[in-house]
Structure 1
């Protein structure tokens, strides 16, 4: 190739060097050379490819090879064509083989198609029958599913049936209640069938479920009854299954009521036995001690019995609440009250006998009153637990309360009648008699126990007036009868002392305002008597009694006062001298009875008000003696002191 290029370069140089040759435009060789020279190999891709292919077998650039180039190219082209023909022949043979196979397959397919057509014609009836059977099978499957769903909704499983129809002594478990609830739901759901055209099936299922329900409830009732009969121990453990049983039995009110009655009977036996044991045997190991050991102490004896019953009643109420906590019936609270009343009814007889023995033994008015308050308190407390007053226990406690209260007032009445049967004379110091002091001490104890009572306020206030009437009214009558033979001053002093002692006794307690007011009025009445007596005593001892009496009784028709007997100037002057001695030491003229008064305040009040009466009496005497109409000469010498001066001296 390089030789060709060299040769071409030499030729080009020859052409260039020969300018004459270029001037011959019609020379063919020249045109070819020019064309070759003008050709740009970089842009002629076909030429480049041809040269590249030529370089594969044109390895030697010589004259001989250049001359044989065409032949070589033709031979190479022939060889390539022969190779192509050979290869294409193989392809043709393969295609013919494939064609033969395709022809064979086509023939086979035609045969199979013909056979299938023949088979289809022969099995057409079978296919129709098969399709029909498949459709029928699908419908049967749907019906089977519907039947299964129907049975699942309206029938019990074998396990549930076995649970509900177990042996009579079989225990009740959680599965029983699940099966029973399932029966209830089926019985409710089957009503849907009665609204469709499946009424016969609905009625049969409803009847079957109703029978199954009744037998199940009967079995559940028998089991619950046996469980309740076993609850006779002091500690009562309510099992969760029994609670569920009561919840289920509420759908059968009769069985529910019978079960509650059975529970109440069992617990009644337990409470009675526990109460008797507490009375006679005490607690476990002897602690606490038997209640009967304290029968010598009525308050503790009765209090311990009532406290035990209060605790037992509260415990039984809690047991019932635990048993019926899942019951949603109306009137559950009334049922509990009724059952608790039935449970505690058994202890009424032994309780009543023992309390009656204590009350009838007449332990004294104070103890009877304390027992009455104690019974009233426990009646109020236990009624808040039971919630009804018709329970036998509450009726028994109320009877004992009424009995103790009656015995208490009988004791007070007997005490009062004894006082009136033998009236005690007032002592020499005109103070309260021993019987009065003793009775007031009794009243003080009664009122003290009344104040410390835990009975509600309204009940305490209602009893208070009756207690005071039973004691104070006989005492007042006793004092009046006892003082009937005394003088005026002695009677007034004795009555003031007695009333004062009563007043100071009542003043320490509540609900006594009305009685204190009444006693205050009576004391004031007797104080007026003592004030008048003290004033008369002073006027008599001071010499003004006669003069004051004459002044009060004198009238203008009688003439001058100085003309009356013992009313002359000398007599009046003598009396005034005596009155002056009183003014110099007024404390010396005091009635002896006033020294017996128990209250210094009352004594001071009497002295002050009697002094005022003396001053008013002196003022009247002074006015009469200084009046010109009474005919006294130099009245200033008779009565040198004015009423104001006298009042100043005595104040």
Structure 2
């Protein structure tokens, strides 16, 4: 299309009525330049431009053909369309302008109305302003009053109790139950929280609440104190299910240490009377109260002093165990609650704290002290009855058995109540009284026996007074062994018994021993020591004394061996030979002098040999006969065998000297057909033969 357009435009240019030979050369030149510029412009145009492409697409959409007529009309048509569009726009803007006029009129009307409204509002504000200010003030006051009401309600809820709760807390007509403890806990919290009120600028309210809560607490604790006292009067400690409220009440009352201690004193006094009555009922079978005694009264066995005292001590022990178990439920089952309560009470009442003892409260120690106080009456009655038994009997063995029995129960009560218990003083006094009675009775008995000591028995057996003493000692040792004395002090404690019950009688036997000839004196001493050792050897606590006796018996045994040895040497005739050889050494010079000795001359040596032969057949029997009164057969055999062994050694010594002399004098001279008669020929017995005959 463009090509045709350029073609059509170029034709009229050449045929525009101007001849080529136009005289106007400058015009032609300018036309050529315009055309060239036109062509250059067309050629330089970018047909890839979006606007040109949109124009061409618009022309194609209109279906316009590229003709001369179209090219002439297109500009006019376009301008016409533009004018029409502009007319429509102007028409539309006229409608808009009309609407804007109407809007302006409406706006003016609205502005007028707004001005009127502002006037009315300002008038209304002027009229309602005071009312609004007053309403705002009232609302603020309402909020403040509501806040104060909330504070007051919170204060009343936390710092005050109702009349009903006050009645429960302070009225003695109301029971001590869960509500009482809950109310008491709340009042204690109020009393504690008053510190917050006292920290404010106005302390009047805090002081008033503190004073009121203090009065309520004091009244409540007094009520609790009286209630516990009433409960203690009817409290059955034999019941394993002791009222839990009593335990709780004691724990709470501990916050007032003075009331708590007063309550314990009251309880101890009440329990002392009850246990004393029970002990008296057990003793006599009668009581101030109507009771049925299922068992026989303890005094029914008063004829048996040891059983009588044992029954009383057993009853006291049983009562102590029961009392401790029951009170342990009351005071220890809550753990350290009572200790913490007493500590809190001492913090609120610091003037009650003792500077001497830093320990606030020891539950076990307090329990032991309370049980000891409960047993005061029983211990007093027990001491009276036991001392009557001790003083009314002169049997030393009985007094010592009673002392051991008391010592046994003393150690038991020490483990049960502790070493600081006051009850132990009673046992210590009774044990000391029984031991004094034992020593006094023993000294009287020894004094009586000393006047009866005359001579030892003919058979050298233990005297009757010593047998009786050993029987008594046996009973004392058995009693001491069953008393389970302290292991560290067993021997020392029993040593005093040996001093009183054995040593004086051994001294009496020693007096008899000194009046007897040998060997009867040593036999008698050994018999007495053997009897004493047989009594004491089963008991480990008498080990030192048994070893002392064995050492003493060893000394007497050695003297008996020496006596038997001398019997062998003198009776056999060997003694003269031993005396003759006492100064002879092993040198040849002294050995050659032996034949010249009086005892080794032929006649004397032959007599000694004959005397030895007569002695040997019955030597052992005769020797045993010398100590036949010794009660221990084995000792008789051992002593005789030891004496025979020493005799054999002496004979070997004599034999060795005889052989040495014969070898020295006759062994070197072998020229003679008949050698002279040697010492050995005159004393032919050998040591081997002696050992066989004396074995």
- C-alpha displacement of 1:124: 5.3
Distance of 2:488 and 2:384 partners within structure 1: 29
Change in Cα spacing, 1:628 to 1:165, as seen in structure 2 (3 Å) is: closer
Distance of 1:558 and 1:575 partners within structure 2: 20
- C-alpha displacement of 1:610: 0.6
- Match in the other structure for 1:532: 562
- C-alpha displacement of 1:596: 1.5
- Match in the other structure for 1:179: 183
Please list, as runs of the form range in 1=range in 2, the aligned pairs for 1:543-622 lying within 5 A after superposition: 543-552=573-582, 560-565=593-598, 567-622=600-655
Is residue 312 of structure 2 the alignment partner of residue 305 of structure 1?
A: yes
- Match in the other structure for 1:451: 481
Which of residues 389, 408, 413 in structure 1 aligns to 2:438? Answer: 408
Which of residues 635, 645, 649 in structure 1 aligns to 2:679? Answer: 635
Distance of 2:490 and 2:659 partners within structure 1: 65
- C-alpha displacement of 1:273: 0.7
- C-alpha displacement of 1:452: 2.3
- Match in the other structure for 1:344: 375
- C-alpha displacement of 1:123: 5.1
- Match in the other structure for 1:442: 472
- Match in the other structure for 1:30: none
Change in Cα spacing, 1:199 to 1:421, as seen in structure 2 (3 Å) is: same
Is residue 330 of structure 2 the alignment partner of residue 323 of structure 1?
A: yes
Distance of 2:573 and 2:392 partners within structure 1: 66
- Match in the other structure for 2:160: 155
Change in Cα spacing, 1:236 to 1:394, as seen in structure 2 (3 Å) is: farther
Q: Which runs of 5+ in 2 are unaligned?
A: 1-113, 343-360, 666-675
Distance of 1:388 and 1:582 partners within structure 2: 73
Which of residues 291, 295, 303 in structure 1 aligns to 2:298? Answer: 291
- Match in the other structure for 2:44: none
Distance of 1:266 and 1:300 partners within structure 2: 30
Change in Cα spacing, 1:301 to 1:363, as seen in structure 2 (3 Å) is: farther
Q: Is the 8 A contact 1:425 1:483 kept in 2?
A: no
Distance of 1:124 and 1:628 partners within structure 2: 168
Which of residues 412, 418, 426 in structure 2 aligns to 1:381? Answer: 412
- Match in the other structure for 1:242: 246
- C-alpha displacement of 1:291: 0.7
3-state secondary structure, aligned to 1:362: coil
Change in Cα spacing, 1:236 to 1:508, as seen in structure 2 (3 Å) is: closer
Which of residues 503, 510, 514 in structure 1 aligns to 2:533? Answer: 503
Q: Is the 8 A contact 2:383 2:426 kept in 1?
A: yes
Is residue 526 of structure 2 the alignment partner of residue 493 of structure 1?
A: no
Q: Is the 8 A contact 2:396 2:442 kept in 1?
A: yes
- C-alpha displacement of 1:367: 2.2
- Match in the other structure for 2:84: none
- C-alpha displacement of 1:304: 1.2
Which of residues 121, 133, 137 in structure 2 aligns to 1:132? Answer: 137
- C-alpha displacement of 1:345: 0.8
Which of residues 472, 492, 499 in structure 1 aligns to 2:502? Answer: 472
TM-score by length of 1: 0.76
Distance of 1:588 and 1:129 partners within structure 2: 148
Which of residues 142, 145, 148 in structure 1 aligns to 2:150? Answer: 145
- C-alpha displacement of 1:638: 2.1
Is residue 214 of structure 2 the alignment partner of residue 210 of structure 1?
A: yes
CA RMSD of aligned residues (A): 3.2
- C-alpha displacement of 1:285: 3.9
Distance of 1:204 and 1:388 partners within structure 2: 51
- Match in the other structure for 1:334: 365
Q: Which runs of 5+ in 1 are unaligned?
A: 1-109
Q: Is the 8 A contact 1:184 1:213 kept in 2?
A: yes
Change in Cα spacing, 1:643 to 1:593, as seen in structure 2 (3 Å) is: closer
Deviations 1:255-281 (A, max 9, x none): 111011111111111111111111111
Larger CA deviation: 472-481 vs 319-328? 319-328
- C-alpha displacement of 1:120: 7.8
TM-score by length of 2: 0.71
Change in Cα spacing, 1:292 to 1:233, as seen in structure 2 (3 Å) is: farther
